[in-house]
A = this chain, B = another copy of it.
Amino acid sequence: MNKKLIIVKIGGKVTANEAELEKALFAFSKIEGKKILVHGGGKKASEVAEMLNIDSKFIDGRRITDKPMLEIAVMVYAGLVNKSIVAKLQSLGCNALGVCGADLNLIKAEKRTNTEFDFGLVGDITKVNSKATNSILEADQTLVISSITHDGNGQLLNTNADAIAAKLSEAMADNHDVSLIYCFEHKGVFTDIHDPKTLIENLSKLDFDSLKNSGKIKDGMIPKLSSGFSAIKNKVKSVIIGNTDYLINKNNPKTTLIN
B residues near A97, Cβ cutoff 8 Å: 99, 103-104
- With both beta carbons as reference points, the residue of chain B lying nearest to A141 in the complex is identified as B104
Q: Tell whether A148 is near chain B: CB-to-CB under 8 Å.
A: yes
Binds B, one of A72-80, A179-187, A216-224, A245-253: A72-80
Copies in the complex: 2
Chain A: residues with Cβ within 8 Å of the partner, total of 40
- A8-16, A31-39, A149-157: which lies at the interface: A149-157
Is B102 a contact of A86 with CB atoms below 8 Å?
yes
Distance A71 CA – B152 CA, assembled complex (angstroms): 28
Bound together, the chains give a CA A150 to CA B96 distance in angstroms of: 13
Closest residue to A154 on the B side, CB-wise?
B91
What chain B residues lie within 8 Å of A90 (beta carbons)?
102, 105, 150, 152, 154
The SS class assigned to the A binding surface is helix
Are the C-beta atoms of A88 and B148 separated by less than 8 Å?
A: no
Tell me the bound Cα distance from A78 to B74 in angstroms.
9
Which 5 residue pairs across A and B have the least CB separation, nearest first? Answer: A79-B79, A75-B75, A91-B154, A75-B79, A87-B102
